[in-house]
Amino acid sequence: MKSNSSLVSYLQVAPLALVLLLFVIVPIALVVVVSVFRYQILVGSVPDFTFRNYIDILSNPTNWRLYLSTLKFTVIVLAITGVLGFWISYFLVFHVRSLLIAIGLFLVCTVPFWTSNIIRMISWRPVLGREGLINTALLKVGVVNEPLDWLLFSDFSVVVAYVHLFTLFMIVPIFNSMARIDKSLLEAAVDAGASRWGVIWNVVLPLSKTGLALGAVFVITLVMGDFFVVTVMSGGLSGSVTSGIFNDLQYLNYPRAAANAVILMIIVLTIAAAIFRLVDVRKELAR
């Protein structure tokens, strides 16, 4: 009887396990295997066992610079989207009276995603360019005498594009956890003498920790894995780790690209694990 029920539970888990195995574990295993191959120019990847790719990457200062640059963008974007995401969700959950309007506004936030990602990013160019919308407006009003160069093809434009694309990924999980907060807790806090800021700091923020953590993981993964936004918005002048991987793929150097990918994966997983240590997501979700 006992073995019967455990067999049944194995069968129930089997489909998802199979999907995860085929589409997650196997590809990652392939990448790890390729990362120890040797690369010979004009021949391709030669099955071998060598750590040369890893040593090449870790000992090359350019790679360290790319990692630092990517981490820099990640931290800045995380901070901005975190603040924006929190306040927008707060407004949607606590200040909008009708649930209908709240859901309506929430959907309005998702409308930009109905257009292609690439178009939304490229449309920043005519806005930020030397003869773009912002510069023309500033010149006309007389705030500046010359167009601002640093609006486009700079770190600024990269961050703007990232925030524009990824804030929603913060809003959704935070909205989710905030919506679960029992409104009577807020009333109780006010009754106990808390100011509005006190309520937010002591009640709302701790209870939306899960949402913040999940949103942070989304944003971190997206920014660290991105190469397109940073290349296009910086005009090719900045690189990221993933653009480094892309460059290797261009010349068919799969082993080194794979090694780079493995290192990147380890770093991102470590960050995610650290976040999940701080916030016990499972316990919160089971509430």
Partner 1 sequence: MTEKVKNAKPKQGLTRRKLLKGSAAAASVAAGSGVITGFPTVWAQNIKDITLNHTGMSYSTLIDIARQATKDLGFTVEMSVTDHPGLTNRMVNDPESIDVADSEIWQTKIYVPLGVTQAVDTEKITLWDKMTPLYTEGVFAGQEVSRQGDSPYEIMYRDAIDGVSFHDGPTRWATFMPGVYNADTLGIRPDLVGKDITSWADLFDPAFDGKSAIQNIPTIGIMDAIMAMEASGLATYGDKGNPTRDEIDKTIAKLIELKRDDHWRALWNTFDESVNLMASGEVVIQSMWSPAVTAVRAQGISCVYQPLKEGYRGWGNGLALMSHLDGLKLEAAYEYLNWYVSGWMGGFIAKQGYYISVPETAKDFLSENEAGFFYDGKPATDVITSPTGDKINNAGDVRDGGSYEERFKKVSVWNNLMDEAEFLFAKWNEFTAA
Q: Judged by CB under 8 A, which of 1, 11, 16, 42 binds partner 1?
A: 42
Alpha-carbon span 212 to 204, nearest angstrom: 12
Could you give the string, one character per residue 91-130, with x where binding to partner 1 holds by CB under 8 A and - elsewhere? ----------------------------------xx--xx
Regarding 131 and contact with partner 1 (CB under 8 A), the answer is yes
Helix, strand and coil content of the chain, in percent to the nearest 5, comes to: 80, 0, 20
* Least Å from the CB of residue 113 to partner 1: 25
Q: Judged by CB under 8 A, which of 6, 107, 250, 286 binds partner 1?
A: 250
Segment lying near partner 1 (by CB under 8 A), choices 184-192, 209-217, 245-253, 258-266: 245-253
DSSP 116-180: -HHHHHHTHHHHHSTTSHHHHHHHHHTS-SS--GGGSSSHHHHHHHHHHHHHHHHHHHHHHHHHT
Residues 43-62 that bind partner 1 (CB under 8 A): 43-44, 60, 62
> SS3 of 267, please?
helix
> SS3 of 44, please?
strand
Residues that bind partner 1 (CB under 8 A): 41-44, 60, 62, 65-66, 69, 125-126, 129-131, 149, 152-153, 231, 234-239, 243-244, 247-253
